[in-house]
Structure 1
Amino acid sequence: MTPLRTWFGPRTRTRTRPRTRTRTTGPRRPGRPSSGRGRPWLGSLRTRLVVTFVLVTLTGSATATVLAYREARTAVLKRAQDSFQHDLHDRVTRIAPEVDLPPTERGLTELAERVSESLDGAPVVVGRYRDLQGTSDGLADRTRITPELREAVRTRDAMSFQRVTRHDTPYLVVGTPVTFADDGRASGLEIYAITSLRPEQDDTAALLSAVRNGVVPVVLLAALLALLSARAVLRPVRDLGTATRRLAEGDLSIRVAVKGRDELANLAQDFNETADALQSSVSHLSEQEERARRFVADVSHELRTPLAAMTMVATVLDEDADQLPPDTARAARTVSAETARLSRLVDDLMEMSRFDSGAARLRRADTDLGEAVRASLALRGWTDEVRAELPDGVRAAVDRRRVDVIIANLVGNALRHGAPPVTVSLASGAGAATVTVADHGPGLSPEALARVFDRFYKADSARTRSEGSGLGTAISLENARLHGGTIEAANGPAGGAVFTLRLPLDAPGRTSA
C-alpha cells in the first residue's frame, strides 16, 4: 500500500457568477407638482428641520445597517468556511492514507462515508478518482460541484471552495486534491464536501432584521429631538416675527428679549438697536412736524391782523384806481389782487392747521345736497358755465359751509385746468350720496393721479404763479373725511378728469356738531 497524504497549497476561491435579476416596469408616470398653498406647515421652518433630522437619521441608520450587515455576513461566512475547511483537512489527512490506489468505486464510497461521518452535520462528501466516483449520499445533487471548482482542484493542486445556490439555499462546496506523501505528486484522488450555509444565512438575516427594527425607535427619537430643537430655535424667531409685526403696526416701544450669545441673540440685539434708532428718528420727526405745524398756525394767526389792514387799504385803492394815473392804477390793482391771494393762502393754512391739530369740528344740519350745490355754483357765478344734474330730495346731515368749500375747490379746478363742458351730477344709493365733477380736458397724468391730494402739489410745476395755493384738493379731502366720506380722482373713459365725492347720508358718530 502506497502511503498517501493530503497536500494543501494556498487556498484559492472559485466564485460563481452572480445571478442577475431583471425587472420589467412600465413607463414612469409623471408626478404632479406639489403645492404648499393652503398648507403653510409644509413649507415651515419647523417642518424642514424635522424632515432634515429624520432624513439624516435614516441615512445614517441605513448606512450603518448596510455596513454592519456586510461585515457581519462576511465574518460569519469566513468563520464557517475556515472552520469547515480546517475540519475537512484534518479528516482527510487522517483517513486518506488508508485508501488503496487505484481505488474501487466501493472504496471511494467508504472513504466518502467515513469523512462525512467525522464532520459536523454529516455533509455530503464525494470522492473522485479519474472516472470513478463514490459519495456518502447517493441521492444528493452532485451538480453543486461545478466544473469550475473541479478544474480549480485539478489544475491548482490546492484546496478551493465555491459558494453556490440551489433552490434558494446557499451551499459551501470545498474540494481538495490528495497527493503522495513522499514526493507530493498528485495521486489523482479528489475529495469534495458539500455543506449547507442556511444556518449562517439565517443568522445574518436575523441580525439584519434586528438592526432594521431598531431603526424605527431611532427615527422616532430623532423626530422628537428635532421637534425640541426646532422649538428652541424657532421660539426666538417667532418672538422676533411678532415684534416685527407690532413694530410695523406702529408700536415703536416693542423690544425683544436677548438670550444667549448665538446668532439669534445677535439678531435680536440688532432688532432692538434698529427699533431704538427708528423710535428716536420718529420722535425727532414728530417733534419737527409738530413745531412746523405750530409755526404755520402761529404765522397764519399773526398774519391775519396786518392782512386785514392791508386788505382794507387795497380795497380802497382798487375802488379809486380809475382816478389814479395809469401806472399807479395798475400797481394798485396788482397790490389788491396779491393781497387777496395772500389772504386766501393764510385762510387755507389756518384751515389745514385746524385739521392737523384735530380742532376742526362739524356743524351738521339736515341739508338738501342738490340745493346746497346749486347755491355754491350760483354764489360764484358758475351757473352758466357748469352743466348741473342735481335732483332734489337727496338729504344728509352735513356741515353746509364745508360742503361749499369742497364743491368750490373741485369745480374751480375743473374750470381752470379742464375744458368745457364741466358737469356736476348728484346721485344717492347704498346709504351714501355721490357728487361727481367731470371735465373734458386732457385729464390727469399717472403722477398727478397719485399726488393730486398732496399738499402744495400742482400738476404743472412750471405754473408757479397759478391762482391756486396747492391746498384746495387737500382741504377738500380733509373736509370729506371729517364727514366720514372720501374723494376719489380718476380719468373719464372719454377723457378729462373726474372727481367723485362720497358722503354718508347718516352722520357718523366720530364727529361732533
Structure 2
Amino acid sequence: MTPRPSLGLRARLLSAFALLCVVTAAAVAGGVYVQARSAILQRTQDAAVKATTSRLQALYPLRSATPGPEELGGIAAAAADQGMLAVAVYRGTHSPFPPGPPPPPRRGGPGLNTAVLNLEVIPEQLRRVVAGGDTAWQRVVWQDTPFLLIGTPLLITERGRTTRMSGIEVYVARNLLPEQQSIDELATRAWLIGGAALAFAVILALLATRGVLRPVRELGRAARLLGEGELRARIAVRGSDELAEVAHTFNDTAAELERHVRQLREMEAEARRFVADVSHELRTPLAALTAVADVLDEEAARLPEPAGRAARLVSQETLNLTVLVNDLIEISRFDSGVAALALNEVDVAELVRATLRVRGWSQQVSADLPAAVTARLDPRRVDVVLANLVGNALRHGEPPVSIRLRADPHRISLEVRDHGPGLDEAVLPHVFDRFYKASAARARSEGSGLGLAIARENARLHRGDLTVANAPDGGAVFTLHLPRRAHEPDGGSE
C-alpha cells in the first residue's frame, strides 16, 4: 500500500498559524459583531418606544371618546416623528390612507413620505398583544427595508378613577435602515480586520518557520552527508535553545562516529596488511612443502597402508593450503586496490569452451554459446570466475549443469545453472561473503570459503556484477554480468 504524501513541516506550521488566526478572528469578530448589533438595535428600540410614548401622552385629554377617521389621522400624525410611519385604529376604523399604494421606502432616506402606516404590514400577533392593553414591538422587513414596529394602546387616566382602555391603538414604524447600514459597516470592518490578522499571522508563521526550519535543514544536510561517508560534516550551533542542543548532540555523535570509523579503518588496514604479509611469507615454506608433498604422493602407492594414507593426506592438505594462501593473496590485492585488468578483445564463446576444456568439464556441462560474441575483457579473471561457478555447480549441485551466454550491444551475461535442491533462502544473502559456507557440515577441505567472494570482486573489477537466485523448477542460478567494453579501473598494477 502506497503511503499518502504528507505535508511538509513548513506547510503544517503555516496551516496551524492560519487556522488559529481564523478561529480567533472569527470568534472575536463574531462576538463583537453580535454584541454591537444587539446594543445598537436595543438602543434604537428603547429610544423609539420612549419617544412614541411621550408624544402620545401629550394628546390627552382626547377631544372625543369615539374618534372618527379625521381625529385618528391627527393621533397618527402626532405619534409619528420625522421619518416614521403611523396609523391609529379604533374599533375597525383607522386613520385614512393616501390614495394609491404606499410608495416604497428609500434606502438612505427617512423612509416613506407619508405619515400613514399600512395595516397589512402589522403582524397579527402584535395586534393581539396591543389589543390586550400592552405595549409591544417587533422588527419586520418590508420591501427589503428593516422596520421597528411599535404598538401601544391609548389609556385614559383620570384623577381618582381607575385607568381604563380608550379602545384606540396606535402603531408606529421606525425605519432601521441607518442602523442596518451601521451594522453592515461593522461586519465589513470585522472581516477586514480578520483578513489583516490572517495576513499578519501568515507573515509571523513564515518568520517562525524560517527560524525553526533553517537548523532542521542544516541537520538534514549534515545527516545526508554523514550517510554518504562525509564524516566531517558538522552543524553550526546558534543560541542555546532545544535546537542548539540537538545540534550539539549531532556534532558530538558525528565526532564520536568519525573516531570509531577511523579506528575501525585502521584496524581493518592492519588486518589486511597482516593477511597479505602472512600469505606472502607462507609462499616460501609452501613451495618446499609442495615439493615434498609431490614426492610423497608419488611414493604413496608403494608405502604400507597407514603410511600411504598419511602421505596422501599430507599431499591433499598441502594443496588445499596452497589454494587458501593464493586466495588470500588475491583477496588482499582487491582490498588494497592494486588489482588491475589485462584487457583483450576475446571471443567469449571460445573463452568459455577453453575454461571447460582445460578442466575436463566439456562432457559434464552443456553449453549454449552463440557465435561471434566478442568483448574487451580480462580473460584470466573471467576464467577464474567461470571455473569457480562451474566447479561449485558440479560439486554441490546436481546434473545437468549448463552454461548459457546472452549478449546485447552493451553487455553480456553468462548464466551457470545446476538442477539440485538450490540454496536456502537464508543462505542467498551471504553466498558472496568471505569464508561463508552454506553448510557447517562441509569438510574444511572442500574450499577456502573465498572463491565466490573473489569471483564477485573480479566481476566488479570489470564494472559488472555477479548475482545468484534459485530457479523456479529447482537449482541454483549464478549470473555473471559484464560490459562489452570494460575499462581499466583506477588503481595500481599487480
Q: TM-score normalised to the size of structure 2?
A: 0.86
Question: Aligned match of 2:51 in 87, 106, 109?
Answer: 87
Identity of aligned residues (%): 46
User: Within 5 Å, which residues of 2 pair with 1:213-224?
Assistant: 213-224=192-203
Equivalent residue number for residue 361 of structure 1: 340
**Is the contact between residue 160 and residue 176 of structure 1 (CA under 8 Å) also seen in structure 2?**
yes
Question: Aligned match of 1:448 in 427, 433, 457?
Answer: 427
CA distance in 2 between counterparts of 1:428 and 1:86 reads 105
Equivalent residue number for residue 153 of structure 1: 130
Assess, with a 3 A threshold, how the Cα gap between structure 1 residues 105 and 230 changes in structure 2: closer, same or farther: same
SS in 2 for 1:361: coil
Question: Aligned match of 2:165 in 187, 190, 202?
Answer: 187
Equivalent residue number for residue 20 of structure 2: 56
Q: Give the AA of the match of 1:159.
A: T
User: Within 5 Å, which residues of 2 pair with 1:43-442?
Assistant: 43-116=7-80, 119-121=81-83, 123-134=84-95, 140-155=117-132, 157-177=133-153, 178-182=155-159, 183-188=161-166, 189-390=168-369, 393-442=372-421
SS in 2 for 1:442: coil
CA distance in 1 between counterparts of 2:268 and 2:116 reads 110
CA distance in 2 between counterparts of 1:145 and 1:486 reads 96
**Is the contact between residue 112 and residue 135 of structure 1 (CA under 8 Å) also seen in structure 2?**
no
Q: CA deviation at 1:66?
A: 2.3
Assess, with a 3 A threshold, how the Cα gap between structure 1 residues 113 and 367 changes in structure 2: closer, same or farther: closer
Q: CA deviation at 1:255?
A: 1.2
Equivalent residue number for residue 25 of structure 1: none
Could you list the runs of 5+ residues in structure 2 that have no partner in the other structure?
98-113
- CA deviation string 1:247-300 (max 9, x = no partner): 221111111122233333333333223323332332232222222212222222
**Is the contact between residue 76 and residue 115 of structure 2 (CA under 8 Å) also seen in structure 1?**
no
Question: Aligned match of 2:462 in 468, 483, 494?
Answer: 483
Assess, with a 3 A threshold, how the Cα gap between structure 1 residues 420 and 148 changes in structure 2: closer, same or farther: closer
Q: Which moved more, 1:127-136 or 1:178-187?
A: 127-136
Q: CA deviation at 1:226?
A: 2.5
Q: Give the AA of the match of 2:88.
A: G
SS in 2 for 1:458: coil
Q: CA deviation at 1:349?
A: 1.0
- CA deviation string 1:131-188 (max 9, x = no partner): 5544686853123333433333343x44332222222222222233323132442132
SS in 2 for 1:424: strand
SS in 2 for 1:454: coil
Instruction: Kindly report the root-mean-square deviation, in angstroms, between the aligned alpha carbons of the 2 structures.
Output: 2.9
**Is the contact between residue 96 and residue 111 of structure 1 (CA under 8 Å) also seen in structure 2?**
no
Q: Which moved more, 1:360-369 or 1:390-399?
A: 390-399
**Is the contact between residue 403 and residue 414 of structure 2 (CA under 8 Å) also seen in structure 1?**
yes
**Is the contact between residue 365 and residue 398 of structure 1 (CA under 8 Å) also seen in structure 2?**
yes
CA distance in 2 between counterparts of 1:201 and 1:468 reads 99
Q: CA deviation at 1:355?
A: 0.9
Equivalent residue number for residue 11 of structure 1: none
**Is the contact between residue 437 and residue 500 of structure 1 (CA under 8 Å) also seen in structure 2?**
yes
**Is the contact between residue 368 and residue 405 of structure 2 (CA under 8 Å) also seen in structure 1?**
yes
Q: Give the AA of the match of 1:503.
A: L
Q: Which moved more, 1:272-281 or 1:102-111?
A: 102-111
Q: CA deviation at 1:422?
A: 2.1
Assess, with a 3 A threshold, how the Cα gap between structure 1 residues 232 and 135 changes in structure 2: closer, same or farther: farther
**Is the contact between residue 125 and residue 135 of structure 1 (CA under 8 Å) also seen in structure 2?**
no
CA distance in 1 between counterparts of 2:142 and 2:241 reads 62
**Is the contact between residue 149 and residue 160 of structure 1 (CA under 8 Å) also seen in structure 2?**
yes
SS in 2 for 1:43: coil
**Is the contact between residue 469 and residue 476 of structure 2 (CA under 8 Å) also seen in structure 1?**
yes
Q: Give the AA of the match of 1:373.
A: V
Equivalent residue number for residue 13 of structure 1: none
Assess, with a 3 A threshold, how the Cα gap between structure 1 residues 186 and 487 changes in structure 2: closer, same or farther: same
SS in 2 for 1:495: coil
Q: CA deviation at 1:36?
A: 11
Q: CA deviation at 1:478?
A: 1.1
CA distance in 2 between counterparts of 1:388 and 1:88 reads 117
Q: CA deviation at 1:223?
A: 2.6
CA distance in 2 between counterparts of 1:106 and 1:368 reads 129
Q: Which moved more, 1:404-413 or 1:274-283?
A: 274-283
SS in 2 for 1:484: coil
Question: Aligned match of 1:495 in 456, 474, 483?
Answer: 474
Q: Give the AA of the match of 2:123.
A: T
Q: Give the AA of the match of 2:164.
A: A
SS in 2 for 1:96: coil
Assess, with a 3 A threshold, how the Cα gap between structure 1 residues 179 and 437 changes in structure 2: closer, same or farther: same
Assess, with a 3 A threshold, how the Cα gap between structure 1 residues 36 and 435 changes in structure 2: closer, same or farther: closer
CA distance in 2 between counterparts of 1:383 and 1:329 reads 32
**Is the contact between residue 231 and residue 254 of structure 2 (CA under 8 Å) also seen in structure 1?**
yes
Q: Give the AA of the match of 1:185.
A: T
Q: State the number of aligned residues.
A: 472
Assess, with a 3 A threshold, how the Cα gap between structure 1 residues 83 and 496 changes in structure 2: closer, same or farther: same
Q: Give the AA of the match of 1:269.
A: H
Q: Which moved more, 1:372-381 or 1:241-250?
A: 372-381
Q: CA deviation at 1:505?
A: 3.5
**Is the contact between residue 432 and residue 504 of structure 1 (CA under 8 Å) also seen in structure 2?**
yes
- CA deviation string 1:391-449 (max 9, x = no partner): 66544443333233222211111110112222234454323443332222222232333
Q: CA deviation at 1:348?
A: 0.8
